[in-house]
Amino acid sequence: MSNSTAEEKIRQLTKELQEHNYRYYILAEPTISDYEFDMKLKELEALEKEYPQYALPDSPTQKVGGETLNDFKTIKHNRPMLSLGNTYNEGELKEFDNRVQKLLGSTDYLYICELKIDGVAISLNYKDGKLVQAVTRGDGVQGDDVTENVKTIRSLATVLKGDFPHDLEVRGEIFMHRKAFEKLNEEKAKLGEPLYANPRNTTAGSLKLLDNQEVAKRPLDTYLYHVLCEERDLHSHYESLQKIKEWGLKTSEYTEQCKTIDEVLKFIAKWETKRKELSFDIDGIVIKVNNFEQQNELGFTAKVPRWAIAYKYKAETALTQLLSVDFQIGRTGAVTPVANLAPVFLSGTTVKRATLHNANEIQRLDLHYGDWVYIEKGGEIIPKITKVELAKRHEDAKPVMMLSACPGCGTPLIRKEGEANHYCPNELGCPPQIRGRVEHFISRKAMDILGLGEETVDMLVSKGLIHTVADLYKLTYNQVVSLERMADKSAQNLIKGIEDSKKIHFARVLFALGIRYVGETVAKKLALSFKSIDALASANFEELSNVDEIGEVIAQSILDYFAQKEHRDLVEELKSFGLQMAVAKDEQAVLQSNVLQNLSIVISGVFQKYSRDELKDLIETNGGKNASSVSSKTSYLLAGEGIGPAKLEKAKQLNIPIISEDDFLNLIKSADKPNDVKPPQGPQSLF
């Protein structure tokens, strides 16, 4: 075979197999047999081996995986992946349009309407046209590196074509078509295995598989909708979508330009009816101002862009029968009733359970065993019972009553005055509470102990190996490796993860203790104010209440926690194992800085070097105060990209200094000269 013939044959087979891959894995509508496909794939593999110079970077032979990962690295996004504001009614959408019109001072703008795909948000980074990194949305500031798994998606180009930028980030959605999902479940059913819950959860789970050969078998697809790059002179969102296509990436074919809000409403109404005809699930419509210059002018609020909004379709409802009620115990001892239902298909998933919240909700519904109930998904996710079909109630039906004793340990339940929940007071001896506290303690934002999941925690508690979180630090390798399905390497990793957690900073240890009402942010404020667990434990009500944003309820909860000898003993035990119960020296220098003392700073926009939360931490740990709105008492407006126009205008009116991220960082570097703090010069010209 001549070189030219081989090159042409490789191109032909590559294109043909890509089309068959799409039909098989994405549409679940194959047009050739598995045997025919495999023969063509082997022919291509042989040609690529003999003529490697002609093998294409996006060849189907490269989409089969082959690497087993140990874990997923956490990667910080170059720019935060912000969420959108949601609305469920036309009135709020018209209010959004009025705000856009008022802020722009014009009606000369276009909207782009896109289907809101029910999938997993992803950020793809290309260097010189090659996919080098794929990161999940995560918490918006950082996500998981799932590059090797994403490379196996057959509809995604790992190499761009055309006139692409040197450095490009494209964002979009990874999802699964319904037919492909159903085919996966058919295969699970044949094997007698539990079925997958829904396409979105299956997509998310697929991306987190450690073996990308398994990921390659999953029928994942992508639609991309957002471009971030400095090298292209793009003027509008619609123009950027056209560029995405030119570079060989997939965009949704259902996107439309709308000149008025009435046209937007027509688009929404059309797809509310037609969405069931789609091959994939959507839960709404995304509306964006098209022009980039106008987007910049509109800016951002603290959490969402002002130039975009998501219209969410109202939840579908279904009628099914209540079979029984379980009562679950959380880590704080709160009892949550959960309804077990006759399986019913709703919004793309089979629903079998729904939360009943508390005794008040049971009473409100006047719920009886055997009732036929209407259920819907709150925000298309969490099933809930909305009402009872009284006409179908059996005359002998018995009412659902709240338990009087804990189902986990048999202790009589209590209900504090003014609270909706019932509680089990047996904090130290109730197995569900012990499990809940341990799961909270080891969670990512607390002690972040790798290798320790819910199933392992359950085994450790069930076997009596742990009764408190302190018992984790007594575990030995021999105890762990003897657990069911615990391999040698997993046991080693678990023991190492527990040991490494001793380096976690004090604020996170404090959060991990699970003191009622002491969340992540409150724990940081307490650590900043008291510097050590001993100082916090000995603080009185007035001292606690005087801490910024620590109210009476939190102060009393802290006093109640340390009033119990068991809690004081637990803290001492954790100290003895070497956990950080005071602000470490490497933090102390920052925490003791008063360079921003008596300064009130407002943050607005998106920043390059730090997230908004990180900047807020820097303000607080250097003695300053975070303010939410600009006033005459504001010391600085810390302005990022897409700053809110109202804040900017008010700052100018009040002559408040407007500083950039770099100005702010230079400001806190002057911590060694606290009496010489002066407003940074020059930044106002940037705005």
Catalytic residues: 116
H/E run at residue 422: strand 422-423
Helix (H, G, I), strand (E, B) or coil at 312: strand
Q: Is 555 exposed, middle or buried (CB count within 10 Å of its CB: 0-12, 13-18, 19+)?
A: buried
Reported as half-sphere exposure (CB side, CA atoms, 13 A), residue 358 has a value of 12
Contact present, 325 and 339 (Cβ < 8 Å): yes
Calpha distance 644→605 (Å, rounded): 7
- Look at residue 668 and give its three-state secondary structure: helix
DSSP H helical ranges for 136-216:
147-150, 178-190, 199-207, 212-216
Give dist(CA 378, CA 116) in Å, integer: 17
Q: Which residue has the tokens 């050739």?
A: 32
- DSSP assignment, residue 543? H
Q: Which of 534, 522, 624 is nearest to 572 (CA)?
A: 534
The secondary structure of residue 8, as a DSSP letter, is: H
Place of tokens 């996710």: 381
Confirm if 329 and 424 have CB atoms less than 8 A apart: yes
| CA–CA separation, 647 and 15 (whole Å) | 53
| Closest of 620, 653, 399, 390 to residue 527, by C-alpha | 620
Q: How far apart are CA 357 and CA 631, in angstroms?
A: 41
